[in-house]
Copies of this chain bind each other. A is one copy, B any other.
Amino acid sequence: MHLFKKIFSKSRAQEGGIFFDTIQKILGFTPDTIDHYKRAFTHRSTNKLDAAGNPLNYERLEFLGDAMLSSVIAAHLFNQVPSGDEGYLTKMRSKIVSREHLNELGRDLHLIDLVESKVLTQHFGENIHGNLFEALVGAIYLDKGYIYCEKFIHNRVIAPYVDIPKLEGKVISYKSLLIEWCQKEKRTFHYDVFEDNGIDAQKFFGVKLSIDNKIIAKARATSKKKAEEIASKRAYFAFQEKINNK
Which residue of B60, B82, B138 contacts A85 across the interface (Cβ within 8 Å)? B60
A66's nearest neighbour on chain B, judged by CB, is B74
Q: Are B70 and A67 in contact (CB under 8 A)?
A: yes
A52 CB-CB contact with B under 8 Å = yes
Give residues of chain A (132-149) contacting chain B, Cβ–Cβ below 8 Å: 138, 141, 146-147
In the complex, 23 of the A-B residue pairs with CB atoms within 8 angstroms, ordered by the A residue number, are: A50-B82, A52-B82, A52-B83, A54-B82, A54-B83, A55-B85, A59-B86, A60-B78, A60-B84, A60-B86, A60-B89, A62-B86, A63-B74, A63-B78, A63-B90, A64-B74, A66-B74, A68-B71, A70-B70, A70-B71, A78-B138, A146-B146, A146-B150
A75 CB-CB contact with B under 8 Å = yes
Per-residue 0/1 for A16-58: is the Cβ within 8 Å of any B Cβ (1 yes, 0 no)? 0000000000000000000000000000000000101011000
A69's nearest neighbour on chain B, judged by CB, is B71
Identify the interface centre among A66, A67, A86, A138: most chain B CB within 10 Å of its CB. Answer: A67
Main secondary structure of the interface of A (DSSP, over half): helix
Q: Are A63 and B83 in contact (CB under 8 A)?
A: no
Given A82-B54, A83-B54, CB of A67 within 8 Å of CB of B75: yes
CA distance A90 to B85 in the complex (A): 26
A82's nearest neighbour on chain B, judged by CB, is B54
Q: Are A86 and B63 in contact (CB under 8 A)?
A: yes
Task: Kindly list chain B residues whose C-beta atoms are within 8 Å of the C-beta of A66.
Answer: 74
CA distance A150 to B141 in the complex (A): 14
CA distance A146 to B89 in the complex (A): 19
Given contacts A55-B85, A64-B78, 5 further A-B contacts (CB under 8 A): A52-B82, A60-B89, A63-B86, A67-B74, A67-B75
Task: Kindly list chain B residues whose C-beta atoms are within 8 Å of the C-beta of A78.
Answer: 60, 63-64, 138
Task: Kindly list chain B residues whose C-beta atoms are within 8 Å of the C-beta of A68.
Answer: 71, 74
